[in-house]
């Protein structure tokens, strides 16, 4: 069962229990996933939603994870975002093994390390834009004046300085998604994890939101974007394609979409 926590991200209950937290070491990779599996219904009817996936992501990369429906994107996103733990394999996030943590420990990691942007925005309707952006900062124990300052800065950053006190119902879809982006970046987490961020938007708002996400990457943030849409994926610097729970192709960092191969996506992967 899912319920929504302070930073708008769903938490999962019924988790495996705890092992001792490792000392954080200086890590070459921000994300270092080695041979992870996620197996639902082990036994005869088992589903290998992730089937021996390894992936390393350095600081400052902009990676799109693409795949068709049922390929394992959401399952992978849940792992990357520390919303779920793998059946087997390891996940080091900034040097810390997060593949065997308890619910509370995962929640703390999420709050500090990951800014989430969801397809459905996940804003709290009764709160203003500023209050929505401030929520994860409250859970970090930040004082009121610092919180107000960071929330205002983040909302101005996404072009919503004139909508600080509007509630989600008083804003367009594109504006709501920009509030969610402000919430994701306000505390300056090392990773921005976006799950189909343009999925509920009209094409104009989608372009606006992608423009902001690209700028966040250019400013040095690490961005991981999950999508089924190749036209969204190719705006990233690296495309990882997932099929039947495993990585089918990975362009590697520094990838640039070749416009001349526009009609032959396979030529780009
Ligand atoms: N809780 C679950 N129990 C059993 N099987 C599951 C569960 N969640 C997902 N699956 C299966 O795991 C596979 C991957 O599912 P996942 O939701 O990760 O796909 P997806 O790529 O996100 O698809 P979509 O684009 O439709 O959202 C699918 O075959 C799905 O049926
Ligand atoms: Mg999905």
Q: Is residue 268 predicted with pLDDT exceeding 60? A: no
Q: What is the mean pLDDT of the chain?
A: 87
Nearest atom within ligand 1 for CA of residue 38 = 12
Question: Residue 203 to residues 184, 209, 265: CA-CA distances in angstroms?
Answer: 22, 10, 21
Residue range 216-228: mean pLDDT, rounded: 93
The pLDDT score that the predictor gives to residue 14 is 41
Residue range 65-89: mean pLDDT, rounded: 94
The pLDDT score that the predictor gives to residue 140 is 86
pLDDT grade for 27, boundaries at 50, 70 and 90: confident
Stronger pLDDT, 128 or 6, i.e. the higher one: 128
Supply the angle between the helices 129-139 and 173-185 in degrees, to the nearest 10: 30
Expressed in angstroms and rounded, the spacing between residue 242 Cα and the centre of ligand 1 is: 12
* Residue at token pair 């709160």: 127
Expressed in angstroms and rounded, the spacing between residue 50 Cα and the centre of ligand 1 is: 9
Report the 10 Å Cβ neighbour count for 131.
17
Does domain 2-26+59-85+101-118+190-268 bear CATH number 3.40.50.300?
Answer: yes
64 close to 232: Cβ distance less than 8 angstroms: yes
Could you write out the DSSP letters of every residue in 139-170?
HTT--HHHHHHHHHHHHHHTT-TT-TT--GGG
State residue 110 phi and psi, 5-degree precision: -60, -45
pLDDT tens readout for residues 87-144: 999 999 999 999 889 999 999 999 889 999 999 999 999 999 999 999 999 988 899 9
- DSSP letter at 183 equals H
pLDDT tens readout for residues 252-263: 876 665 555 544
pLDDT tens readout for residues 185-221: 999 898 999 999 999 999 999 999 999 999 999 988 9
Expressed in angstroms and rounded, the spacing between residue 73 Cα and the centre of ligand 1 is: 8
Report the 10 Å Cβ neighbour count for 200.
16
Tokens of 213: 């996400």
Expressed in angstroms and rounded, the spacing between residue 206 Cα and the centre of ligand 1 is: 25
What pTM, to 2 d.p., does this model score?
Answer: 0.84
Best residue for ligand 1 mutational test, from 10, 38, 40 (most atoms within 8 Å of Cβ)? 40
The pLDDT score that the predictor gives to residue 22 is 53
Could you write out the DSSP letters of every residue in 199-224?
TTS-HHHHHHHHHHHHHHHHTT-EEE
111 close to 6: Cβ distance less than 8 angstroms: yes
Tokens of 256: 């640039």
Tokens of 181: 């982006």
The pLDDT score that the predictor gives to residue 265 is 47
Alpha-carbon gap, residue 60 to 51, rounded angstroms:
27
* Pocket, ligand 1, Cβ cutoff 6 A: 40-41, 47, 49, 67, 69-75, 228
């Amino acid at each position: 069962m899912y319920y929504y926590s302070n930073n708008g991200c769903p938490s999962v209950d019924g988790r495996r229990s705890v092992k001792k937290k490792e000392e954080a070491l200086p890590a070459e990779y921000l994300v270092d996933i080695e041979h992870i599996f996620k197996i639902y219904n082990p036994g005869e009817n088992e589903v290998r939603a992730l089937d021996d996936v390894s992936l390393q992501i350095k600081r400052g990369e902009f990676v799109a994870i693409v795949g068709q429906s049922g390929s394992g994107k959401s399952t992978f996103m849940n792992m990357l975002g520390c919303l779920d733990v793998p059946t087997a394999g390891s996940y080091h996030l900034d040097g810390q093994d997060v593949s065997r943590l308890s619910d509370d420990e995962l929640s703390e990691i999420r709050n500090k390390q990951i800014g989430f942007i969801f397809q459905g925005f996940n804003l709290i309707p009764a709160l203003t834009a500023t209050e929505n952006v401030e929520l994860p900062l409250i859970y970090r124990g930040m004082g009121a004046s610092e919180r107000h300052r960071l929330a205002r800065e983040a909302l101005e950053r996404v072009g919503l300085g004139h909508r600080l006190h509007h509630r989600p119902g008083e804003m367009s879809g594109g504006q709501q998604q920009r509030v969610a982006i402000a919430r994701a970046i306000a505390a300056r987490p090392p990773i921005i994890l976006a799950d189909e961020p343009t999925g509920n938007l009209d094409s104009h708002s989608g372009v606006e939101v992608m423009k902001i996400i690209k700028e966040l990457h250019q400013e040095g943030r690490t961005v991981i974007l999950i999508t089924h849409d190749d036209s969204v994926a190719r705006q990233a610097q690296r495309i990882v394609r997932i099929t039947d729970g495993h990585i089918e192709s990975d362009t590697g960092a520094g990838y640039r979409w070749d416009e001349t191969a526009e009609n032959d996506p396979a030529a780009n992967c």
